[in-house]
């Protein structure tokens, strides 16, 4: 087990006093109580110390948790009013600039694989995705499956076997995994897809009946201790029984099959089997419902084409997209969901979010899939022009996330992190009061920087106004910087009028990842 010891060294005495000083400094910044000199000291500490950045994120989460209402006796609710502790002496703040945080990892992580001195074997099957899945006797989420018996009490779970076969188990399914080519279905429903590498994959049914795949997509339901239903969506399966010769079942056919008897043909699609695509669609709808219910949401679009070919802001029903040129609908990250594809010069989608103007806090979340990173910038979302409070969110040719808020100092994330040909969730928060810009990639903290104000400062907060997705519509700068077209797709655009905490960003990624 890991044990973490933190040593804090400052110009003052070492120990808890310095941690408390930094804690108070961050809280005072959130209340707008720091002077310019003190704010400079805080940002220097943030840029120098990962631990200070983590402390800032933790305080942000606590702020969210305690900001609700208090329920008094009798059911009366009053708004929670609080003020953070006052700032310590300026001398303490100056000393805090010299903080150096070191983390000492003591001991070795425990190996719970049960294998000593040997390479751990790959599992027979792994969880691909699920929707509210809960397995009997499993306290936490189960990700790997080996030989043994399992009971899916609730939800839906999709398993990928080592040979490439995918099996979707529905609620109340009881099954046994024999190996990567055979399972025993004791009760419940399954949908299976078997590529050529899994040809011969077998599902044993109660009694002495078995379904043997010959490269296909099929469904099986155990109706009772003796009866089962089998139907084939594509390809061919063979039905094997000790009492009869193999029976071939092809696409569009369905049978009810009693142990010891011959299969009897029935109407196709008499049983509702959840396919892999349908599971992904259910997951997406659950994720979408969660996002739409979040506090502070002002814009949400998954780029599904509505009436009259328009794309709507699903938060308020308004047509937030003003213009689309040289873009088209493409496959999204979930099942049959859609994304918007940008491919060449002139591809652009103009977005107008009046609610995203003059904000002290802002969060932008987007799922992107670049196909190629060009030498210059590839725009995800750029405000028109380059005015006070305007924001640019772009990707560099080396995969760095570039964020700029005018007239603040634009910065690039450390290292090439954004890759091509896969869906990634990018989230950026801006807090004008604390002068911080925080970037996340796939739910993890990517970077935190100071929002450096210039002489005029951001006088009216962050102001998106009219913005372009996948390009930059700015005639004044076009000859110099070019249109900055994105060669790739955007699946979703979400905007909040507040700074999301790290835990909320992680939750959005966990629920929304394909």
Q: What pLDDT, in 10s, does the model give residues 460-481?
A: 678 787 888 887 755 454 444 5
Task: Report whether pLDDT(446) > 70.
Answer: yes
Check: CB of residue 378 under 8 Å from CB of residue 489: no
What is the average pLDDT across 189-193? 97
pLDDT tens per residue across span 122-138:
899 999 999 999 999 87
Beta carbons within 10 angstroms of residue 214's beta carbon: 17
pLDDT at 452: 65
Question: Can you tell me the distance from the alpha carbon of 447 to that of 437, in angstroms, rounded to the nearest whole number?
Answer: 8
pLDDT tens track for 476-508: 544 445 568 888 999 999 999 999 999 999 999
**Residue 511, H or E segment:** helix 502-512
Closest CA to 282 of 342, 337, 332: 337
Band (89; pLDDT cuts 50, 70, 90): very low
**What's the CA gap between 350 and 93, in Å, rounded?**
45
* Other CB atoms within 10 A of residue 195 CB: 14
CA 281 to chain centroid: 15
Q: Which residues contact 74 (CB under 8 A, 6 or more apart)?
A: none
Is the model's pLDDT at 330 over the cut of 60? yes
Q: Which helix (H) or strand (E) holds 362?
A: strand 361-372
Average pLDDT over residues 25-46: 75
458 vs 428, which has greater pLDDT?
428
Q: Do 186 and 175 meet the contact criterion of CB atoms below 8 Å apart? A: yes
Whether the predicted pLDDT of 56 surpasses 90: no
The mean pLDDT value of the chain amounts to 78
pTM for the complete prediction? 0.70
pLDDT confidence of residue 10: 37
Is the peptide bond preceding residue 410 cis, with omega within 30 degrees of 0?
A: no
So what's the pLDDT on residue 294? 94
CA distances from 67 to 26, 77, 161 (A): 17, 13, 46
Summary count for the chain: helices (H), strands (E): 7, 33
pLDDT at 457 over 70: no
Three-state DSSP class for residue 345: coil
A 10 A CB-CB count for 187 gives: 15
311 CB neighbour count, 10 Å cutoff: 21
CA 402/CA 395 separation, integer angstroms: 6
How far, in Å, CA of 253 to CA of 137, rounded? Answer: 37
User: What's the whole-number mean pLDDT along residues 72-89?
Assistant: 36
SS3 for 289-326 is: HHHHCCCCEEEEECCCCCHHHCCCCCCCCCCCEEEEEC
Measured CA to CA, the distance from residue 506 to residue 287 in angstroms comes to 13
- pLDDT, one tens digit per residue, over 176-187 is 999 999 999 999
Residue 88 has pLDDT above 80, yes or no: no
**What pLDDT score does 310 carry?**
66
157: which residues sit within 8 A by CB, 6+ positions away? Answer: 127, 129, 130, 133, 135, 168, 169
149 within 8 A of 174, measured Cβ to Cβ:
yes
Contact in structure between 458 and 408 (CB atoms under 8 Å)? yes
pLDDT band at 4 (very low <50, low <70, confident <90, very high): very low
Least confident interval from 63-77, 221-235, 404-418: 63-77
Region 158-163: mean pLDDT is 96
**pLDDT above 90 coverage of the chain, percent:** 39
Nearest CA to 493 out of 279, 298, 290, 325 is that of 298
Give residue 13's pLDDT band: very low, low, confident or very high (50, 70, 90). Answer: very low
Do the Cβ atoms of 231 and 253 come closer than 8 Å?
yes
Q: 184, 168, 166: which is closest to 176 by C-alpha?
A: 184
**Residue 206, Cβ neighbours under 10 Å: how many?**
17
305 vs 93, higher pLDDT? 305
Higher per-residue pLDDT: 413 or 155: 155
Return d(Cα 85, Cα 23) in angstroms, integer.
Answer: 9
Mean pLDDT across 219-241: 93
**What gap in Å lies between CA 296 and CA 360, rounded to an integer?**
13
């Amino acid at each position: 087990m890991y044990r973490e010891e933190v040593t804090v060294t400052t110009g003052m005495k070492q120990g808890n006093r310095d941690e408390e000083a930094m804690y108070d400094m961050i809280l005072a910044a959130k209340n707008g109580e720091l002077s310019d000199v003190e704010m400079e000291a805080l940002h220097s500490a943030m840029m120098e110390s990962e631990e200070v950045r983590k402390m800032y994120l933790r305080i942000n989460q606590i702020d969210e948790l305690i900001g609700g209402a208090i329920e008094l006796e009798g059911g009366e609710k009053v708004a929670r009013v609080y003020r953070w502790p006052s700032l310590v002496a300026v001398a303490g703040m100056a000393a805090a600039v010299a903080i150096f945080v070191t983390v000492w990892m003591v001991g070795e992580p425990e190996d719970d694989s049960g294998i000593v001195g040997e390479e751990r074997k790959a599992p027979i099957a792994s969880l691909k995705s699920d929707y509210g899945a809960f397995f009997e006797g499993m306290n936490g989420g189960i990700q790997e499956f080996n030989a043994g018996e399992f009971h899916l009490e609730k939800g839906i779970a999709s398993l990928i076997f080592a040979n490439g076969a995918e099996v979707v188990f529905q609620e109340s399914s009881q099954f046994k995994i024999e190996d990567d080519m055979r399972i025993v279905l004791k009760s419940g429903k399954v949908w299976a897809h078997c590529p050529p590498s899994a040809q011969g994959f077998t599902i044993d049914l109660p009694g002495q009946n078995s379904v043997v795949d010959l490269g296909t997509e099929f469904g099986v339901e155990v109706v009772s201790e003796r009866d089962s239903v089998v139907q084939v969506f594509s390809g061919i399966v063979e039905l094997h029984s000790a009492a009869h010769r193999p029976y071939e079942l092809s696409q569009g056919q369905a049978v009810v099959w009693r142990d010891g008897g011959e299969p009897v043909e029935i109407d196709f699609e008499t049983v509702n089997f959840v396919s892999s695509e349908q599971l992904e669609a259910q997951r997406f709808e659950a994720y979408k419902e969660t996002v739409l219910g979040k506090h502070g949401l002002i814009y949400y679009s998954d780029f599904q084409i509505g009436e009259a070919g328009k794309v709507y802001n699903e938060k308020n029903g308004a047509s937030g997209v003003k213009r689309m040129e040289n873009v088209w609908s493409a496959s999204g990250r979930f099942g049959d969901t859609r994304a918007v594809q940008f491919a060449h010069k002139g591809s652009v989608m103009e977005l107008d979010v009046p609610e995203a103007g003059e904000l002290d806090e802002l969060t932008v979340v987007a799922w992107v899939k670049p196909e190629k990173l060009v030498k210059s910038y590839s725009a995800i979302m750029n405000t028109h022009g380059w005015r006070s409070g305007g924001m640019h969110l772009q990707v560099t040719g080396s995969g760095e996330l570039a964020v700029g808020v005018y007239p603040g100092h634009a910065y690039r994330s450390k290292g090439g992190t954004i890759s091509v040909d896969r869906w990634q969730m990018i989230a950026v928060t801006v807090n004008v009061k604390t002068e911080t810009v925080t970037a996340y990639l796939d739910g993890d903290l990517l970077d935190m920087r100071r929002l450096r104000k210039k002489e005029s400062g951001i006088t009216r907060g962050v102001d998106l106004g009219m913005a372009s997705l996948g390009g930059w519509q700015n005639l004044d700068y076009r000859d110099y910087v070019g249109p900055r077209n994105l060669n790739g797709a955007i699946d979703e655009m979400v905007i909040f009028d507040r700074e999301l905490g790290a835990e909320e960003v992680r939750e959005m990624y966990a629920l929304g990842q394909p």
